[in-house]
């Protein structure tokens, strides 16, 4: 059970990690009725990430122990190109030049899906 809001007692709608001066903290937040059309939120700290309780870690989808994380992920050349094109450069099909990378857009999409399946908990936008 996550601690309720100290200001009003409501439950948290969102829990996330924020880095402050190089340390990671778990922050809880909920929406408050907007004033003059601007959204407002109450935010409060649940403490440092290292000392977060297991139920908070499970809501954040963070493994409880380091041993649960894979040591390394081996990538193929195609997956590295897919990461560069899709994640770093954020290219669309119209901007992608197959002659530069030696892969068609369909092969690139297939490599991207393969890469996403190798990552244990991908971040969803």
pTM of the model: 0.48
Same domain for 18 and 48?
yes
pLDDT at site 106: 94
- Domain membership flag for residue 124: no
- 11 by DSSP, 3-state: which? coil
Q: Which domain holds residue 89?
A: 77-118
4 inside domain: no
| Number of domains comprising the chain | 2
Q: How many CA atoms lie within 13 A of 103 on its CB side?
A: 21
What pLDDT digit, counting tens, does each position of 9-37 carry?
A: 888 888 888 988 888 898 999 999 887 88
User: Which two three-digit tokens encode residue 27?
Assistant: 């922050």
> To which residue do tokens 């290292």 refer?
50
> Is residue 123 situated within a structural domain?
no
pLDDT given at position 125:
42
81 and 54 in a single domain? The answer is: no
Are 62 and 85 found together in one domain?
no
Q: For residue 76, what pLDDT is reported?
A: 93
């Amino acid at each position: 059970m996550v601690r309720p809001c100290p200001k009003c007692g409501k439950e948290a709608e969102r829990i996330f990690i924020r880095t402050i001066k190089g340390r990671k903290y778990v922050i809880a937040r909920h929406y408050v009725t907007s004033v003059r059309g601007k959204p407002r939120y109450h935010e409060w700290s649940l403490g440092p990430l290292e000392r977060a309780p297991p139920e908070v870690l499970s809501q954040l989808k963070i493994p409880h122990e380091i041993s649960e994380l894979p040591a390394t992920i081996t990538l193929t050349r195609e997956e590295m190109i897919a990461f560069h094109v899709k994640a770093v450069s954020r290219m669309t099909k119209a901007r992608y030049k197959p002659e530069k990378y030696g892969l068609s857009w369909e092969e690139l999409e297939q490599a991207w899906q393969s890469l996403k399946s190798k990552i244990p908990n991908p971040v969803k936008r």
